[in-house]
Every structure is written in C-alpha cells, then in structure tokens.
Structure 1
Amino acid sequence: MSETVLLYESLRLMLIGMGIVFSFLLLLVGILRLMSWTALRLAPLPQTEPAALPAAPGSGDGVPIAVIAAAIARYRAGRRR
C-alpha cells in the first residue's frame, strides 16, 4: 500500500471514530435531559419560604467581631517574630 492510501484510510477511520464518540455524547446529553425533565415532573421541588434577612453588621453587641479582630492581631504578631 502506498502512503497516500494509508493516509486516507487513517483519516477515514479517525472521522468514523470521532463521529461515533460525538453521537454517543449527544445521546448521553439527551438521555440526561429527559431524566431531569422526568424527575421534575414526578417530584417537583418543594416551595420554600424566603429566608429572613440577616441583621445588619453593626446592630449586634459586637463581641464576635472583637474576638475575631483579637485573634487576627495575635496571629499577625506571632508571625512577625
């Protein structure tokens, strides 16, 4: 066989292989979308009430912020040595 024939055969084989893989991936995406649609139809997501808004940062007693600030200051002081 000549090199040209081998090159054409390898190109043909590559295209067939890539086509099979691409087709399988398209089939997989379609099946996953169908399963997702079916799952949502059979068991819809529960309706939840909106969460309450958290309190403003300055409206608390400030103790956790002071503790965190002290821990950061101690950590930074220990790293300078």
Structure 2
Amino acid sequence: MTDSTLLLESVMLMLIGMGIVFSFLLLLVGIVRLMSVLLQRFVPVIPAPQSPASAPLTSAIADDLIAVIAAAIARYRSRH
C-alpha cells in the first residue's frame, strides 16, 4: 500500500468514528430530553416544606437570643 492510500483510509476511519460518536451523543441528548418531558408530565410537583428557620421569631425568643449572644461575646472578649 502506498502512503496516500493509508492516509485516505485513516481519514475515512476517523470520519466514521467521529460520525458514530456524534450520532451516539445526539441519541443521548434526545433520550434525556424525552425523559425530562415525560417526568414533567407524569410526576406531580411536590412543594418543598417551609423550613422552620424562615419562621419569624417571637419578640420574647428574639430578646432571649440577643441576651445569650451578648453574654457569649462578653465572655469571649474577657478571655481573649
């Protein structure tokens, strides 16, 4: 075989391999999109529960919390 024949065959093999990989990736993207559409259609959306941290603090709890934090800061500063 001559060098030009080997070069031509290697280019053809490269194009075939790249075509197969590209086709597989297109198929993968299509399947993922189809699964997304099916899940959005058939699975109900469950609202996330509200976290207790976002609930407003009552004034008594807030006052106690401020006092505890202030005492902790004062104790830290007295030691350092």
TM-score interval, normalised by the smaller of the two chains: 0.5 to 0.7
Choose 1 or 2 for highest CA Rg: 2
Q: Aligned partners of 2:42 and 2:26: how far apart in 1?
A: 24
Q: Which residue is equivalent to 1:26?
A: 26
Structure 2: gaps of 5 or more residues: none
Q: Aligned partners of 1:45 and 1:9: how far apart in 2?
A: 54
Runs of 4+ in 1 over 4 A off after TM superposition: none
Q: Aligned partners of 1:54 and 1:37: how far apart in 2?
A: 38
Map 1:30-69 to 2 at 5 A.
30-48=30-48, 51=51, 52=54, 60=65, 61-62=68-69
- Aligned pair 1:2/2:2, yes or no? yes
1:14 to partner: Cα distance: 0.6
More helix by share: 2
Q: Aligned partners of 1:5 and 1:24: how far apart in 2?
A: 29
Q: Which residue is equivalent to 2:17?
A: 17
- Identity rate of aligned residues, in percent? 49
What TM-score do you get using the length of structure 1 for normalisation? Answer: 0.61
RMSD: 2.8
What TM-score do you get using the length of structure 2 for normalisation? Answer: 0.62
Structure 1: gaps of 5 or more residues: 71-81
1:40 to partner: Cα distance: 1.3
1:24 to partner: Cα distance: 0.6
